Structure 1
Amino acid sequence: MTSKYRRGFDITRDSLRVFTQEPSLVILPVLSLLAVGSAFAVLAAIALQQGLVASLVTNDLYQYGAMFCAIAISSSVATFFNAAVVHCAAQLFDGNPTSVRDGLAAAWRARRQIAVWAVVAATLGTVLYILDEKFGVVGSLTRAVFNLAWALLTFFIVPVIVLDQRRSLRRQLRRSGSLFRETWGESVSATLGVSFTFLIVALPGVVLAALGYFSLDGVLATGALVGGGGIVVAAIVGSQTASAIVRTALYRYATTGEQVGPFEEREPDALW
C-alpha cells in the first residue's frame, strides 16, 4: 500500500515538473479559480439587488434555474482553462515552446465545443439534483451511480475536445469512453494518487482555518483563516494543474503508445 502512495506522490511531482519548463503556465488554473469566483460574485450581487434570495430558497423553479447556471458557469470556465493547460502540456511534451497566451488561444478555438459541453453537463446535473430531491433514496442512489458513470465516461473529455479532431459531442463522449476503457487501471490509479497527494497538502489548511473560525479571536483568527484558505486554494490549483497534465499524458499513451511527462520513465500500465 505504501508503494501505491509513493507512486502517487512521484506522479504528482513529475507532472508539476513539466511546467517548470514554462512556470508562467501555473497562472492558468489560478485564472480559472478567479474567473469562477468572479462569476458567482456577480450572480450573487444580482440576486441580492433584485431581491431574489428568498425566491431561491422557496421557489423550485428559481432554485433549479440557479443550479443550472451554477453548474454551467463552473463547468464552462473550468473546462476552458483546463483546455488551455492540456494544450500547453501537449506542446511541452513535443518539445515545442508555449505560453499562457498560446493555451488561451487554443481553448478559445474550442469555445463552441466547450459551451456545448457545459450546457449538457449543467442540464444533466440539474436533472439529477431534481431526482435526488424528489425521489428520496432511489433518487440519491440514481444520482450517485450516474455521477460515477459520467465521471468515468468523460475522463478524457478535455484532451479530446482540445487535441482531437472530433467536433460532435456524441463522438467526443464515445472517444473519451473508449480511451478510458483502454487505460482504466492507469487512469484511476494516477488520478487517485494525485487527489490523495493534494488532500494531504490541503489538510493543514483546513485545520488552520477551523482553528481560526472556532478557537481564535481577532488578528490571530483572521490570519489563520487567510492562511488556511490560501493553503487550500493552492492545493486546488496544484491538483487542477497536475490532473490536467496527467490526463494529457495518459491521452497520448492511449492514442499513440508514447510515454511522456510523468510516464516518461515508468510504464503507465504498471501503476495499476
Structure 2
Amino acid sequence: MRGAFSKTNDLASASYAVLKRDKSLLAFPAMGLAASGAILGVNWLLVNLATTGLNAGSVDQPGKWGTEPIVWMSGIATTLLICIVSVYFAAALTYGAWERFQGNTPTISSCLSAATQRLPVIVPWSLLTGTVGLLPSLIRNLEEGLKHLPFFVGPALKIVAEIFNIVWSVVTFLVLPILVVEQTGPIDSAKRSLTLFRQTWGKSIIAQFAFGFLGFLIAIPGLIAAGIFAAAGAVVIGIGIGAIWLLLVIVAMATLIGIFKMALYLYATTGEVPGEFRGAGLEEAFVSRKKLKAERKAKKARRKAQASGSY
C-alpha cells in the first residue's frame, strides 16, 4: 500500500483539479485572513486606547501582563470573533466545493449568500469550537494558581488539553460540510461527524495531518528565498517575500483542505466518489472498521504461517 504522504499528494492533486476549475474559491480563505487581521488590529488599537498604551512593561509584574482583565477579556472576545469570521468564510468555501461537485458553477456572491443563510448554525458552532481552542491558553494562565498543587499537575493539564484539542479536531473533521449541507446545530453536527468517523474508521487518518506537512514543504522555497535576501542585507525585502509566500501557501492549503473535506463528506454519506477524486485513493483515506479488523486478522495469520514455516 502506498505511503500516507503519497496518498495525500494524490488527494491534494484531485483538490487542485477542482480548484483549477473554480479559482474563485481561493477568495474565501483570503477574505478570512484579511478579516482576522483587521479584527486583531482593531483589538490592539482598542486595548491601547483603553489603557493609554498598556504594554508588557507597564504593570508591576511584566510576566503577568496577560492576566490584566482588559487584555484577557479582549483576547477572548477577539479569538471568538475571529473564529466566527473564519468559519463563515470556510463555510462559503465548503458550499462552493459542494456546488462544483453537483455540477454547478459557484460564484463568490452565491457562496457568501449561502454562508450568510447558515449563520444561525455557524455562529453557535464557532463559539463552541473557539471555546475548546481556548482551553490550552486558559490552563496556561491558570498555572500560577496551580502552584500549590503537586508540580506535575500543571504540565499534565497542558498535555491533556492539547490531546483533547487534537482528538476534537479529528472527530469534528467533517462538521463544516455537515453544517453546510445538513444545516444542523453544533451538538448535532458534532455527533454526526463522530458517527461518520466511526463508520469510516481512519486506517490512514494521518493523511489529514499530512496536508499540513505538504504545506510546510511548499513553504520552504519561499523561506529559503527570504533567507537569501536577508543574508544579503535586504532584510525588509526578505521579510516581505517570506510573509507574502507564507500567506499564499496558507490560502492555497486552506482551499485544498476545504475541497477535500467536502469530497470526503460526500463519499462518507453517499458512498460515491466525486468526479475529480476518482482514482485519487479517496476510498483508501478511510477504511471501515470491519475491513481494518479483517486485515489485522489476515496479518496475524500470515505471521503465524511464517513462524511455523521457519521451524
**Shorter-chain TM-score above 0.5:** yes
Tell me the CA shift for residue 2 of structure 1: 7.3
- Residue by residue over 1:22-66, the C-alpha shift from the partner in whole angstroms, topping out at 9 and shown as x without a partner, is 222221111111111111111111112222634782534334323
- Out of 134, 148, 160, the residue aligned to residue 142 of structure 1 is 160
Q: Percent identity?
A: 25
Shift of 1:211: 5.3
2:102: which partner in 1?
A: 94
- Alpha-carbon distance, 1:194 to partner: 2.1
What is residue 247 of structure 1 aligned with on the other side?
Answer: 261
For 1:62 and 1:262, the matched residues in 2 are separated by: 49
Alignment of 1:47-58 (within 5 A): 47-51=47-51, 53-54=54-55, 57=65
Give me the whole-angstrom Cα distance separating, in 1, the residues matched to 2:43 and 2:155. Answer: 32
Shift in Å at residue 122 of structure 1?
3.0
The Cα RMSD (Å) is 2.4
Give the deviation of 1:230 after TM superposition. Answer: 1.2
Tell me the distance in 1 between the aligned counterparts of 2:128 and 2:22. 34
Give the corresponding residue for 2:28.
28
Alpha-carbon offset, residue 99 of structure 1: 0.6
Amino acid in the other structure paired with 2:118: A
Residues 229 and 212 of structure 1: is their aligned pair in 2 closer, same or farther, counting only changes over 3 Å? same
Structure 1: tracts of 5 or more residues without a match: none
Unmatched runs of 5 consecutive residues or more in structure 2: 147-153, 287-311
The reply to whether residue 179 of structure 1 matches residue 196 of structure 2 is yes
Equivalent residues in 2 for 1:228-267 (5 A)?
228-260=242-274, 262-267=276-281
For the structure 1 residues 49 and 207, does the alpha-carbon distance in structure 2 shift closer, same or farther, using more than 3 Å as the test?
farther
The structure having more radius of gyration, on CA atoms, is: 2
Residues 1-272 of structure 1: matches in 2 within 5 Å? 3-51=3-51, 53-54=54-55, 57=65, 59-133=67-141, 134=143, 135=146, 136-166=154-184, 168-185=185-202, 188-210=205-227, 215-217=231-233, 220-260=234-274, 262-271=276-285
Q: 1:9 to 1:22 in 2, by over 3 A?
A: same
Instruction: Report how far residue 171 of structure 1 moved.
Output: 0.7
Q: What is the alpha-carbon distance in structure 2 between the residues aligned to residue 209 and residue 222 of structure 1?
A: 9
TM-score (norm: length of structure 1): 0.88
Contact residue 159 and residue 247 of structure 1 kept, 8 A:
yes
The structure richer in helix per residue is 1
Q: Is the contact between residue 8 and residue 193 of structure 1 (CA under 8 Å) also seen in structure 2?
A: yes
- CA distance in structure 1 between the partners assigned to 2:71 and 2:36 by the alignment: 19
